[in-house]
Structure 1
């Protein structure tokens, strides 16, 4: 289960980094549903990069944690 969670986090993190247009479209549709308008800025792109790196790092941590846990027991 930990392996699956780690792989999902890695996939989500990398998609945040490399598929920004998809995430931007999703955010734009959501904000329109609430009646607000937003603009895509460099700050938004940097935030997506940071979030993607954090999610990917958490996924890698889970995989390493699982490898160490299996090796210890």
Structure 2
């Protein structure tokens, strides 16, 4: 499952990189919460939480409904 999540994040990454940011997969918890770390401009952006919830989480849940949430660490 982790490999699938990393592959999905690789598809999202160009959109973040276009704005000077990036995302790093940290872990998948036992209760199917994906933990990621935003990098670059995304790390300090006031819209970072919106990027995680309305962008990354929405896309990952569409592809993998068993994912319960995406959180930033």
TM-score w.r.t. the length of structure 1 is 0.31
Higher share of residues assigned helix = 1
Relative contact order higher in (CA < 8 Å, ≥ 6 apart):
1
Higher share of residues assigned strand = 2
TM-score w.r.t. the length of structure 2 is 0.31
